[in-house]
Chains A and B, each alone.
Chain A
Amino acid sequence: MITYVYDGSFEGYLTTVFEIYNRKKNPDGIFTTSTYMPFLMEEKYEVSTNIERAQRVLAGIESKGSKDIAAKIYNVYLSEHPAMEMLLFQYIKLILQKGSAIEHDYRQPEILKVKEINKQIHREVHRMHAFVRFQKTTDNLYYATVTPDFNVLPLIGEHFEKRYSDQHFMIYDSKRNYGLYYDQQQTMMVECGAEQLERQSEFVAEEKVYEALWKNYFQSVNIIERKNVKLHLRHMPKRYWKHLTEKK
């Protein structure tokens, strides 16, 4: 039984792929330092993250495969799917062996699975585009808290930056304890201390006014004669409600 353990970063994962090829020893399991549990009779290899090696793997994927395939692999990594490491290893192996065309052979279980997870990721990204609700703080920051199913913050910055290029905003993932912060110049990943989070819960007076107007609007466009709760819930699952002004 051969296991590889890496630090949980994407670069760490790509370094792991490098090491597997380098050592010519296929893994029976790939874990992060936090998911790893020791097995009896195992041969364990601890990977130390190496940016240069990670980049070589990425370059290999992009040249044998494509930029698009590399992006799909990153998305699967962000999915935090429990078996994601081994799935991606099989997938990368296929791509490196057979080239980019193989990504459309959906008869192969790994290819189908990567496609499925990408679909879930895209849906979650789309939900974040839709369900982020900013509140204006006394520091003139438009602030939103989210708890997405997957770690999609790295995928949504560009969308909000294009749209709100003239306003400071922060989208904070309270499940993973970090946020995207845009200062009208660039978007960056930030962590917030308790004090800062406190400050970000003080809103300007007009905030209440617009929240009330929005709730009123939401009620007023509903057509009672067409009530369809099942459809409503399918589009807006309950777990998102806690961050939605109109459903709170």
Chain B
Amino acid sequence: MDRINQKLTVLANAAKYDVSCSSSGSKRKNQDKGLGNAEGMGICHSYTEDGRCVSLLKILLTNHCIFDCAYCISRRSNDIQRAAFTVQEVVDLTINFYRRNYIEGLFLSSGIFKNADYTMERLVRIAKDLREIHHFHGYIHLKAIPGASAELLTEAGKYADRLSVNIELPSEESLKRIAPEKNYEEIYTPMNFIREEKQRYTDERKSIKSTPLFVPAGQSTQLIIGASPENDVQILNLADSLYKEQQLKRVYYSAYIPIPTDSRMPNLALPPTLRENRIYQADWLLRFYKFSVHDIVNDLHPNLDYDIDPKLSYALRNRHVFPVNINTAEYEMILRVPGIGVKSAQMIVTSRRFGNVHFDHLKKMGIVTKRAQYFITCPGAPAASIDRHSSQVRQLIQSPELRKKNSQLILFA
């Protein structure tokens, strides 16, 4: 057991920089009294001390790798301990963790050993054993290894709930510089293939009900933030096209954790987690708040404002579309008000059918009126608020710590 424990330490540690941990969106149900059920909402079974969700057993099959990508801890030239699981070891860990309700399933990735197909074949075999020998219906996320054959990807798609190919660097120039053995074509080829296959299966299902599932939870990818010079417009435009054209379910962003020993990489003191957080907020505005990339960042404002969230930043730059009348405005406009989320916007829209919604109602519904007051009109709203200048509103809304920090900056400047 000590050996397994050692392998687990090395191969979980090597996998943790892949931030995806989603286990939602699959349609796989338990059948014939088997083990597990992946339909419906994902569940975070635990949270690490860095506050991230633990939903899946996320490990590498091996951290031996023939590539030398500068951003990656498993790069060939890095002097670290190497390990490899056997197929049976991964299967046993998955089943036994799942039975104890530790996890929703398995997220299996791998360093590239020998070649793409050799690696992909082993990932597929583990998924196949889990499904066919152990009748496991929990969630499986596999990495699609760039360069793997179409046959292997098709097989992977039948056993996995999600497949992902990580883009990592948000432009091809950066990728070439930092990961010289990779290129965009090799990344987009499997992504396109999986998208087309999934579409084919979906179409077939419409006429033949017994068509098997193919990657029911879709594809995702990851972008590293701050390891290369791309600005936020470039990153968000890339994400937007991945959602729209590649039909990805999720784009994950991972703040670059400095690797001071490699000259190809920038030397930062800390990972840019605040920037990562602002990009996630912008990503949510794209997916759930009906914003376009241009609303959030554009040539005039190519980067997100790190002091305030992107929705507030938009509102302060676009005072001409406010104030929004709570009792008459379109749902889309209500969604644009800082301090009003998707659920509260829906509550407003259903409630106002019965009569006027007052400022006091908003407070009770849980709307952050401290923010919203500058951008709305409704009976009982403080009238002076909407006439305040944007710079003043910004000052008033900013968190006390930030105000303190800024005033200190001014003091010392």
Chain A residues at the B interface, C-beta cutoff of 8 Å = 102, 104-107, 109, 112, 126, 129-136, 142, 144, 162-167, 184, 206, 209-210, 212-214, 216-218, 220-232, 234-236, 244-246
- Contact residues on B (Cβ < 8 Å of other chain), bracket: 35 or more
8 Å CB interface, B22-62 against A: 29-30, 33-37, 43-54, 57-58
Looking at the assembled complex, report how far the CB atom of A225 sits from the nearest CB atom of chain B, in whole angstroms: 5
B39 to chain A, nearest CB (A): 8
Pick from A102, A130, A164: contact of B43, CB under 8 Å: A130
Q: Would you call B5 and A235 a contact (CB within 8 A)?
A: no
Supplied contacts A133-B101, A133-B102, A216-B8, 8 more A-B pairs, CB within 8 Å: A107-B354, A166-B135, A213-B97, A221-B16, A222-B50, A223-B17, A235-B47, A244-B46
Task: In the A-B complex, list the 7 residue pairs whose CB atoms are closest, starting with the nearest.
Answer: A231-B51, A104-B350, A220-B12, A226-B50, A228-B51, A235-B47, A222-B48
Partner of B33, one of A102, A166, A227, A246: A166
Which residues does chain B contribute within 8 Å of A231, judged by CB atoms? Answer: 47, 50-51
Q: B164-187 vs A: 1/0 string, CB under 8 Å?
A: 000000000000000000000000
Given contacts A223-B16, A225-B270, A226-B273, contact A166 B46 (CB under 8 A): no
Q: Are B99's CB and A232's CB within 8 A?
A: no
Taking Cβ atoms with an 8 Å cutoff, the residues of B that contact A are: 1, 4-5, 8-9, 12-13, 15-17, 29-30, 33-37, 43-54, 57-58, 93, 96-97, 99-102, 135, 138, 255, 257, 270-271, 273, 347, 350-351, 353-355, 357-358, 361, 364-365
A134's partner among B46, B101, B271, B351 (CB-CB below 8 A) is: B101
Q: Report the separation of the CA atoms of residues A26 and B27 in the bound assembly, to the nearest whole angstrom.
A: 48
Q: How far is the CB of A101 from chain B (nearest CB, A)?
A: 8
Q: Across the interface, do B350 and A213 meet the contact criterion of CB distance under 8 Å?
A: no
Kindly state the separation between the CA atoms of A226 and B357 in the bound complex, as whole angstroms: 42
Is B36 within 8 A of A163, CB to CB? yes
Contact among B100, B138, B257, B353 with A223 in the assembled complex (CB-CB below 8 Å): B257
A173 to chain B: closest CB distance in Å?
A: 16
Is B99 touching A134 in the complex (CB atoms < 8 A)?
A: yes
Chain B residues near A136: list those with CB within 8 A.
Answer: 99-100
CA distance A246 to B358 in the complex (A): 47
Q: Are B101 and A144 in contact (CB under 8 A)?
A: yes
CB A245 to nearest CB in B, in angstroms, measures: 7
CA distance A229 to B326 in the complex (A): 38
Tell me which residues across on chain A come within 8 A of B365, comparing CB atoms: 106, 112
Closest to A160 in B: B101
Distance between Cα atoms of A30 and B37 in the complex (Å): 42
Q: Is the CB of B347 within 8 A of A106?
A: yes
By a CB distance below 8 angstroms, the chain A residues around B93 are 213
A232 CA to B44 CA, complexed, in Å? 12
Using known A-B contacts A142-B99, A225-B271, determine if residue A232 contacts B350 with beta carbons closer than 8 Å. Answer: no
8 Å CB contact of B48 from A102, A135, A210, A232: A232
| Nearest residue, chain A, Cβ from B273 | A226
Q: Can you show 14 pairs from A to B with CB atoms below 8 A apart?
A: A105-B354, A130-B45, A133-B101, A162-B29, A165-B30, A165-B34, A216-B8, A217-B97, A221-B48, A222-B50, A223-B50, A226-B257, A235-B47, A235-B51
Who on chain A is nearest to B46 by CB?
A246
Quick check: B355 and A107 within 8 Å, CB to CB? yes
A104 — which chain B residues lie within 8 A by C-beta? 347, 350-351, 353
Find chain A residues with CB under 8 A from B30 CB. 162-163, 165
